[in-house]
Amino acid sequence: MDPITAMLETVLEEVRPLGSGAPAAYIPELASADVGLLAFGVVGPRGRVFTVGDEDATFTIQSMSKPFVLALALENLGREEVLARVGAEPSGEPFNAISLEAHTGRPANPMVNAGAIATTALIPGADIDDRTGRIVAMMSAFAGRSLWIDESVYASESSTGERNRALAHLLKSYGIVTGSVDDAVESYFRQCSVLVTVRDLAVMAATLAFGGVNPVTGSRVVSERVARDVTSIMASCGMYDFSGEWLLRVGLPAKSGVSGGVIAVAPSQFGVAGFSPRLDVHGNSVRASAFMEIVSDRFGIHLLEPHESVAAPGVSVIETPEGPLVRLGGELGFAGAERVLSLLREITAAAPHASLITVDASELARLHPAAVMVLRTEVESLSPRVRLLV
């Protein structure tokens, strides 16, 4: 067994004994879930997938669909048009609360039901099937395989979904939903009923973690800006009225679903997914949440953990017949550019006057605009002794 799988297995066994909570009861098809099921998946930068536990178990995506439908809305309409219909503030309320802004009726955020129904209503479509088709296609691109809907969970939720229907009618009364209420809410029920495994979810989370590029298929699914917007809203609102404490304890943008799944995003590092049907009072999976907390701590992936790499780019100095060659590698951010500048000054002071100093930034994996600006200005001031290759 490879060391990463072994580490995940250890955490899986640590959380297995946790027996509190109960599966969601208000959707009959979910109430009968096998509470013994437990599975986790992690996907890293090279698209390697690690899964442990009941990795073949399929379950419905439920509220974990919300970030991906938001991504589709942002990609189609742009940030401002989406924000005109749904906010980006944590509601501090349960997922099914009537979290609407006074006077405007704008839902607090797209991660609670009211906001998600408003987001779904923004997706164009001639009818329910057309709209759902676009949504499932987007989710499939995130997962890297064709996903489909569990018709019995859909029927179960639709036949008991009066609260969501009521929310949709309220949204219509405020003009947030403009088309058919029925189409909006049924499309929402269908998006929640898409079947996934932890592998699918981990790949979907990883696609957000790697700026909208699916690391398994290599395809760009959404723009980097859209992936960042979605991840930001997951960080502040993804775990409902536990979002603040989640950021403290786990420190990763995340989203849960009442089926017992949780996805978490470690930007540039991992997509993580967990599944276990027992839920806590917030509607978040007990064992999946505990797993995420341990993994975040043990793997050192809390978002607010300090990172040296952005401030310390890879630099190597090679002597060539022309003069010193300064090769930059990895990521060059603003703080890192500052370090390169002082190194450049030292080299310029030490090098013989006739030599040409070359700064090679062409191999950088990532170059931030502010860093290149700082570097350019400095190189221009040292010209003609220093030249920059980007």
Closer of 156 and 358 to ligand GLN (Cβ): 156
Closer of 107 and 313 to ligand GLN (Cβ): 107
Which residues, listed in sequence order, are joined to residue 39 by a DSSP beta bridge? Answer: 53, 275
Nearest approach, Cβ of 70 to ligand GLN (angstroms)? Answer: 14
Nearest approach, Cβ of 125 to ligand GLN (angstroms)? Answer: 19
What tokens does 139 get?
């989710």
- Residue with smallest beta-carbon separation from ligand GLN: 63
Beta strand segments in 320-380, E: 324-329, 331-332, 357-360, 366-367
Nearest approach, Cβ of 258 to ligand GLN (angstroms)? Answer: 4
Question: Using the rule CB under 6 A, is 119 a contact of ligand GLN?
Answer: no
Question: Using the rule CB under 6 A, is 258 a contact of ligand GLN?
Answer: yes
Given candidates 113, 120, 243, 289, which one binds ligand GLN under the rule CB under 6 A?
Answer: 113
* Residue for token pair 């991660």: 111
Question: Using the rule CB under 6 A, is 214 a contact of ligand GLN?
Answer: no
Q: Are 108 and 98 in contact (CB under 8 A)?
A: no
Question: Using the rule CB under 6 A, is 241 a contact of ligand GLN?
Answer: no
Q: Are 295 and 263 in contact (CB under 8 A)?
A: no
Nearest approach, Cβ of 234 to ligand GLN (angstroms)? Answer: 14
Long-range CB pairs of 311-317 (<8 Å, 24+ gap) are 311/335, 311/336, 311/339, 312/336, 312/339, 313/339, 313/340, 313/364, 315/339, 315/340, 315/343, 317/347
Nearest approach, Cβ of 118 to ligand GLN (angstroms)? Answer: 13
- C-alpha distances (whole Å) from 137 to each of 120, 203, 292 are 14, 15, 28
Q: Are strands 59-60 and 195-196 parallel, antiparallel or unpaired?
A: antiparallel
Closer of 282 and 339 to ligand GLN (Cβ): 282
Closer of 267 and 277 to ligand GLN (Cβ): 277
Is 47 buried (19+), middle (13-18) or exposed (0-12) by CB count in 10 A? middle
Given candidates 21, 67, 211, 257, which one binds ligand GLN under the rule CB under 6 A?
Answer: 257
Q: How far apart are CA 223 and CA 214, in angstroms?
A: 11
Closer of 212 and 260 to ligand GLN (Cβ): 260
Taking residues 63 to 92 in sequence order and writing x for each that binds ligand GLN by CB under 6 A, - otherwise, the string is: x-----------------------------
Residues 12-71 within binding reach of ligand GLN (CB under 6 A): 62-63
Number of residues that bind ligand GLN (CB under 6 A): 11
Nearest approach, Cβ of 40 to ligand GLN (angstroms)? Answer: 19
Closer of 164 and 187 to ligand GLN (Cβ): 164
Residues 275-304 within binding reach of ligand GLN (CB under 6 A): 283
Residues 159-178 within binding reach of ligand GLN (CB under 6 A): 164
The most distant pair of C-alpha atoms in the chain lies apart, rounded to whole Å, by 82
Nearest approach, Cβ of 276 to ligand GLN (angstroms)? Answer: 14
What type of residue is 206?
A
Q: Are 123 and 194 in contact (CB under 8 A)?
A: no
Total residue length of the chain? 390
One-character DSSP codes across 248-266: HHT-S-EEE-TTSEEEEEE
Q: How far apart are CA 207 and CA 297, in angstroms?
A: 22
Given candidates 40, 50, 95, 270, which one binds ligand GLN under the rule CB under 6 A?
Answer: 95
Question: Using the rule CB under 6 A, is 157 a contact of ligand GLN?
Answer: yes
The residue ranges that bind ligand GLN (CB under 6 A) are 62-63, 95-96, 113, 157, 164, 192, 257-258, 283
